[in-house]
Chains A and B, each alone.
Chain A
Amino acid sequence: MSDSSNPRPSPPRSSSQREPEARRPWQRLIIAFESPGPRRALQATIVLLLIVMPWISSQYTTVILTNALLYVVLCLGLNIVVGYAGLLDLGYAAFFAVGAYTVGILTQQFGVNFWVAIPFALVAAAIAGIIIGGPTLRLRSDYLAIVTLGFGEIVRFTARNLEITGGASGLSHIPEPSLFGWRIDSAIDFYYVFVVLAILAYVASQRLFDSRLGRAWLYVRHDEDAAEAMGINRVRIKLAAYVIGAIFGAIGGIFFSVNLGAISPESFSFQQSVLILLAVVLGGMGKIPGVILGAFIVVLGPELLREFDTLRLLIFAVLLLAIMLFRPSGIWPEKRA
């Protein structure tokens, strides 16, 4: 299995097993974290770091990290579609938009409680997933990529042209949610909300990966015909990936909209879809730690390069190209050679 974080009990590594020799120290480090003990330590450290971060850094950093955590949720969602099921989706921002707009419209225009609006947003995203996936997932090859690209644009244009979505200027004054009397409104509050979401997305991704469904995705991704010849319903399995991915995207969108308090069609452009896809491919498709790393790189990269001013996007692009050239299957190494 290609996912490095797969915790299925594997027999102790003997010398006969073909483990790729780690040539560089950082590679050795990554491989070391594939065994359960160090991995748990790493997870605990990251969670601890995420908890204390706002207290040891500036508000600016907190806001950027919040954005990175949003991307973690989105990327893990797209990873289910692209990495697990092997379907190329170029319009993933559409599901992000469906979540954001459903909650935005319900809370701001109809005065619905935020928490009540969430299930509606999730159902809307699932339906959108079925509408777009149902007819297209029967097709083989890359038609799906084209259709999803179109779907992404359709959603954005619809949002731009409807009155209920606020047209091109979008929706503003989306009310902040509160939870048991605690009003979620400061940057730090939202930061912690996204910490929780990212952890949930991580756990869900891991569980899905290890599930029967995860197995079916693995087989279908490798060879649709062989999987089908063994009784796996190819279309249903792919649709499940699509709908679950859509729900992850919607969750990101739901909290994105209340965090910013305002959304506009331009938040959900094709570029957004590409950026999310980039993070997934960059980190290593199907590999959860890689995808998380990719999400952080895509968000933090441009920020860290801020001092280069106008050159920063150029430098960032070159860095990305270099990574793809030298590690074509992503940053996180494959478990097998």
Chain B
Amino acid sequence: MVKDARPPTVAETATERPGRVRLRLREIEAFYGQIQALRGISLDVHEGEIVTVLGSNGAGKSTTLKTISGLVRARQGEVELEGESITRLAAHEIARRGVVHVPEGRRILRGLTVQENLELGAFTVKDPALRRQRLEDVYARFPILHERRHQDGSLLSGGQQQMLAMGRALMHGPSVMLLDEPSMGLAPKLVTEIMRIVKQLNEAGTTILLVEQNARLALRLADYAYVIENGEIRLHGAAATLREDASIIKAYLGLGEES
């Protein structure tokens, strides 16, 4: 693996990105105590895109999402939503602006039913008619959740929990959805199913920032991709371009055998 030399970015060849910039990170640095997790992350998410952030374990992918949603404070740099800085806003204020984080491990509330978990998503929605409408939409999209609506959400299977986590985010009516490893721990068939749903959500108008370890899968889905290593962006470009260049993927992600 190339360590020090600044890698050639594919970005120059793939600058044409449609839509306005919805979310922009400028030179974000974040720390856990003394340990620097992010070393100047800059990335753009345009309206209507699926942007994926790839990288190995501990590269800083999840931290990047947490910095956007306010769960981790950036020490340096700016996060901008629609050109407006949200860097110093509290997590709940960022959520109220339509940026919804679907965290790693799904974070389904134990002891609450599927429906109660979904209702959490619409907590800030004041209009009861709109809440009902969203609930119906989510149930239409995920019939299994309707079937299990009175069951303890934490007793669902991994794939269903992921659907519940995404459904909960949809209840909020997000303009940007931050998805952290939705395929984690799922059987291949379910992974495909989840990815199909991500695509559908995007087609329905949600801008998506997707963190994935499964690079091939994410690149098939995404419009644009960033590769993080050691808290730095190593590579970025149109997903299609990166997908073509197998050697780059191999070099930076060490993924040869995955489907």
Tell me the complex Cα distance, A324–B52, Å.
50
Residues of B within 8 A of A232 (CB): 92, 123-124
Alpha-carbon gap, A230 to B120, bound state (A): 7
B152 at the A interface (CB under 8 A) = yes
Residues on B with beta carbons closer than 8 Å to the beta carbon of A219: 109, 120, 123
Asked, given contacts A219-B109, A219-B120, A223-B109, whether A228 binds B91 with beta carbons under 8 Å apart, the answer is yes
Question: Is there an interface contact between A229 and B150, defined as CB atoms closer than 8 Å?
Answer: no
Distance between Cα atoms of A227 and B92 in the complex (Å): 8
* Residues of A198-257 contacting chain B, CB below 8 A: 212, 215-216, 218-219, 222-223, 225-234
* Interfacial residues of chain B within 57-101, with CB under 8 A of chain A in the complex: 69-71, 90-93, 95-96, 100-101
Residues of A close to B71: CB separation below 8 A: 225, 228-229
A-B contact count (CB 8 A): 68
CB distance from A9 to the nearest CB of B (A): 12
List of A residues within 8 angstroms of B158 by Cβ: none
A222 touches B101 (CB 8 A): no
B150:A11 contact, CB within 8 angstroms: yes
Instruction: For the complex formed, measure the closest distance between the CB of B110 and the CB atoms of chain A, giving whole angstroms.
Output: 7
A230 touches B116 (CB 8 A): no
Given A229-B103, A231-B95, A234-B92, A222:B112 Cβ within 8 A = yes
Answer yes or no: B172 CB below 8 A from chain A CBs: yes
- Which residues of chain B come closer than 8 Å to A2, judged between CB atoms? 111
Complex Cα distance A222/B96, Å? 20
Q: Contact at A230–B172, with CB atoms within 8 Å?
A: yes
Binary interface profile of B, 197-229, with partner A (CB < 8 Å = 1, else 0)? 000000000000000000000000000000000
Shortest CB-to-CB span from A218 to chain B, Å, is 8
* Distance A230 CA – B116 CA, assembled complex (angstroms): 13
Interface mask (A1-28 → B, CB under 8 Å = 1, otherwise 0): 1100000000100000110000000000
Q: Which of B69, B120, B123 has the largest count of A CB atoms less than 10 A from its CB?
A: B120
Residue in chain A with minimal CB distance to B112: A222
Q: Is A336 on the interface with B (CB-CB < 8 A)?
A: yes
Partner of B120, one of A1, A226, A233: A226
A229/B111 contact (C-beta < 8 A), A17-B150, A216-B123 known: no
| Bound CA span A218–B119, Å | 12
Question: Whole-angstrom distance between the alpha carbons of A234 and B112 in the complex?
Answer: 19
Closest Cβ of chain A: how far from B111's Cβ, in Å? 6
Task: Mark interface residues in A306-337 (1 if CB within 8 Å of B CB, else 0).
Answer: 00000000000000000000000000000010
- Per the bound structure, the CA–CA distance linking A289 and B146 in Å amounts to 32
Contacts of A229 in B (CB 8 A): 69, 71, 91, 95, 100-101, 103
**Contact partners of B101 in chain A: CB under 8 A:** 229
> Which residues, 101 to 124 on B, are CB-close (under 8 Å) to A?
101, 103, 107, 109-112, 116, 119-121, 123-124
Q: Is B236 an interface residue (CB 8 A)?
A: no
Chain B residues, Cβ within 8 Å of A228: 70-71, 90-92, 95
- Asked if B168 CB lies within 8 Å of chain A CBs, one says yes
B-side contacts of A216, CB under 8 Å: 123
Interface centre among B70, B103, B111, B172 (most CB of A within 10 A): B111
Tell me whether B107 and A226 are in contact (CB under 8 A): yes
A-side contacts of B123, CB under 8 Å = 212, 215-216, 219, 227, 230-232
Q: Hey, which chain A residues are within 8 Å of B124, CB to CB?
A: 230-232
* CB <8 Å contact, B92 and A233: yes
Contacts of A17 in B (CB 8 A): 150
Residue of B nearest to A335 (CB): B111
**Are B109 and A230 in contact, CB atoms less than 8 angstroms apart?**
no
CA distance A227 to B107 in the complex (A): 10
Q: Tell me the bound Cα distance from A227 to B124 in angstroms.
A: 11
CA distance A234 to B91 in the complex (A): 9
Supply 23 A–B pairs (Cβ within 8 Å), ascending by A.
A1-B112, A1-B116, A18-B151, A212-B123, A215-B119, A219-B120, A219-B123, A223-B109, A225-B71, A225-B107, A227-B120, A227-B123, A228-B90, A228-B91, A228-B92, A229-B95, A229-B100, A230-B92, A230-B121, A231-B92, A231-B93, A231-B95, A233-B90
Q: 7 nearest interchain CB pairs?
A: A231-B124, A231-B95, A222-B109, A228-B91, A226-B107, A231-B96, A229-B101
B residues neighboring A (CB under 8 Å)? 69-71, 90-93, 95-96, 100-101, 103, 107, 109-112, 116, 119-121, 123-124, 150-152, 168, 172
